[in-house]
């Protein structure tokens, strides 16, 4: 079948004519195919209309995709750095050419704003261009030996087939991150995008790599309907050709997948959620701290694993900081993600909106003060600031995926660090201070994979590793992740004969 077939147009919830849904197959062995079980509907969070129709893959389609990846692996593992880099440079050019279309697709499929979509795609282009250079990074090292005429080396070799689970909330950047590292390391990949963003988080990446000249079978994409990931996951864990599971998503799902990977003796790489603290010290520039806090808490409607979930403010600044943060939150423009000035778009699903609202209501019922927000207009939840939140409220201890932030007054930097470390999450964090040396010293005590000083908790630089500690997972993105997707093999060469004991 043609992997994309336009159907009739329809009217949006705003009454404006919109493009009708497009139909997509799944991508296996370099071909777009139909699934035996048919298709499922992918909804636009803003209009609540069908955005796309995608293949409903099951175990058979997944097994075929794994077979294609396994068959393509030996040749891809031997592909030269120049060939890999050429494909990726072409892919970066295609992303740049299609960037407005890709940003609009993300807005329609996931509700992210055009601002966020363009931000993501700028990162994607940087990521692909940098990844082209990773192919030339050292692939091993030479070790000293205690024996004469002996050369001892350690080389990195690809694992085989990697199964990558990609999420909806940073659909383009996270999909490319989940694919490029194993790919550059010499592995082949089978991608399972979330059913909430099969197009942005998988299908479009396959389109681009295919156009760029990636050989058949090196990257494959299997999509599935709501609640139908089980058979695909079963095949990933039970098929011996899959050597690594690469997951970006929530802590509960990551915990379950890691257990299954351990039982199957498959390597796993996990980038999980976080309850990310932002600390405002007593010497911070107040206006700047408010801008950083609002961006950290509310960018992409609070639906990024790197969003700030709690803001810890020194008591000397607390009252004025809270007043200004509330004003800033109330001034953020909300509405259609396709309008240029929108900062707050819809939450991904009605169920997600209900969960956020329930968390806020639970906190208020337990004694928290609602300083702003706590309401919604259709699928858009207002930026919400909570104070005096008790520890037994879910929003105080669990990642709430929405535009909700908890503010707390602290007596000292030491108390702020203690509160920042009180939960077992450890993804990212931030410190705002007028004294960078003081902030750097304080950062040494924060247990998180990233500490951003005088920056938002969301601050992606492609060359820097991103990943968590403790319950926020293990493994890293970027060039640092090549070790996660390769085996270290010791190769020892003896020139001449070595004297062996007792022989």
- Are 76 and 215 in contact by the 8 Å Cβ rule? The answer is yes
- Please state the φ and ψ torsions of residue 407, each to the nearest 5 degrees: -110, 140
Q: Given 61, 207, 305, 399, which residue is catalytic?
A: 305
> CA 380 to CA 341: how far, in whole Å?
15
- Are 52 and 24 in contact by the 8 Å Cβ rule? The answer is yes
Measure the CA angle with vertex 21, ends 18 and 27; round to 5°. Answer: 145
What one-character-per-residue DSSP string does 152-169 give? EEEEEEE-SEEEEEE-ST
In eight-state DSSP terms, residue 63 is H
Residues 6+ apart with CB under 8 A from 203: 3, 24, 27, 54, 193, 221, 223
Task: Report which secondary-structure segment, H or E, holds 460.
Answer: none
- Are 217 and 30 in contact by the 8 Å Cβ rule? The answer is yes
Residues 6+ apart with CB under 8 A from 433: 281, 283, 284, 439, 442, 453, 454
- Are 412 and 442 in contact by the 8 Å Cβ rule? The answer is no
22 forms bridges with which residues in the sheet? 6, 52
Q: Given 271, 399, 444, 497, which residue is catalytic?
A: 271
3-class state of residue 387 by DSSP = strand
Place of tokens 């990024």: 304
What one-character-per-residue DSSP string does 203-241 give? IHHHHHHHHHTPPTTSEEE----TT--HHHHHHHHH-TT
Place of tokens 């404006």: 16
- What string of H, E and C letters represents the secondary structure of 266-311? CEEEEECCCCEEEEECCCCCHHHHHHHHHHHHHHHHHCCCCCEEEE
- Are 59 and 35 in contact by the 8 Å Cβ rule? The answer is no
Active site residue 61: no
Residue 338 in tokens = 């396709």
CA 147 to chain CA centroid, nearest Å? 47
Active site residue 271: yes
Query: Reading across the β-sheet that carries 39-43, which strands appear in turn?
Result: 5-6, 22-23, 50-55, 39-43
> CA 430 to CA 459: how far, in whole Å?
10
In eight-state DSSP terms, residue 214 is P
Catalytic positions, please? Answer: 271, 305
């Amino acid at each position: 079948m043609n992997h994309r077939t336009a159907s009739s147009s329809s009217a949006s919830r705003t009454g404006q004519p919109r493009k009708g849904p497009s139909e997509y197959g799944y991508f296996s062995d370099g071909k777009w195919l139909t699934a035996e079980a048919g298709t499922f509907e992918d909804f636009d969070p803003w209009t609540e209309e069908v955005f796309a129709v995608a293949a409903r893959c099951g175990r058979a389609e997944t097994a075929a995709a794994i077979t294609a990846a396994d068959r393509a692996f030996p040749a891809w593992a031997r592909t030269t750095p120049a060939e890999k880099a050429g494909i990726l440079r072409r892919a970066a050019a295609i992303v740049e050419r299609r960037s407005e279309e890709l940003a609009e697709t993300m807005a329609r499929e996931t509700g992210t704003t055009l601002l966020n979509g363009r931000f993501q795609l700028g990162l994607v282009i940087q990521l692909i261009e940098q990844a082209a250079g990773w192919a030339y990074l050292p692939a091993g090292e030479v070790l000293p030996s205690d024996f004469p005429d002996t050369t001892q080396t350690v080389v990195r070799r690809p694992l085989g087939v990697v199964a990558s689970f990609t999420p909806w909330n940073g659909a383009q950047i996270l999909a490319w991150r989940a694919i490029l590292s194993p790919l550059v390391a010499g592995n082949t990949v089978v991608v399972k995008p979330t059913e909430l963003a099969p197009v942005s988080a998988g299908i479009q990446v396959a389109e681009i790599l295919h156009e760029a000249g990636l050989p058949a079978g090196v990257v494959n994409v299997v999509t599935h309907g709501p609640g139908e990931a089980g058979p695909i996951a079963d095949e990933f864990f039970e098929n011996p050709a899959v050597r690594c599971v690469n997951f970006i998503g929530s802590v509960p799902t990551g915990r379950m997948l890691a257990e299954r990977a351990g039982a199957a003796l498959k390597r796993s790489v996990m980038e999980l959620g976080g309850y990310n603290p932002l600390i405002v010290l007593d010497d911070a520039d107040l206006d700047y701290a408010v801008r950083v806090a609002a961006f950290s808490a509310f960018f992409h409607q609070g639906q990024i694993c790197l969003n700030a979930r709690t803001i810890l403010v020194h008591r000397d600044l607390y009252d004025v900081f809270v007043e200004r943060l509330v004003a800033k939150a109330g001034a953020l423009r909300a509405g259609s993600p396709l309008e240029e000035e929108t900062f707050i778009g819809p939450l991904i699903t009605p169920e997600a909106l209900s969960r956020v609202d329930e968390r806020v209501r639970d906190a208020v019922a337990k004694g928290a003060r609602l300083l702003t927000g706590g309401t919604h207009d259709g699928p858009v939840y207002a930026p919400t600031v909570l104070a005096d939140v008790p520890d037994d409220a879910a929003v105080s201890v669990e990642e709430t995926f929405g535009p909700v932030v908890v503010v707390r007054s602290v007596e000292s930097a030491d108390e702020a660090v203690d509160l920042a470390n009180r939960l077992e999450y450890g993804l990212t964090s931030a410190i705002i201070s007028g004294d960078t040396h003081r902030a750097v010293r304080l950062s040494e005590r924060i247990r998180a994979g990233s500490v951003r000083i005088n920056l938002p908790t969301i601050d992606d630089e492609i060359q820097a590793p991103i990943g968590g500690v403790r319950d926020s997972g293990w493994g890293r993105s970027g060039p640092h992740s090549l070790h996660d997707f390769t085996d270290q093999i010791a190769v020892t060469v003896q020139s001449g004969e070595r004297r062996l004991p007792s022989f």
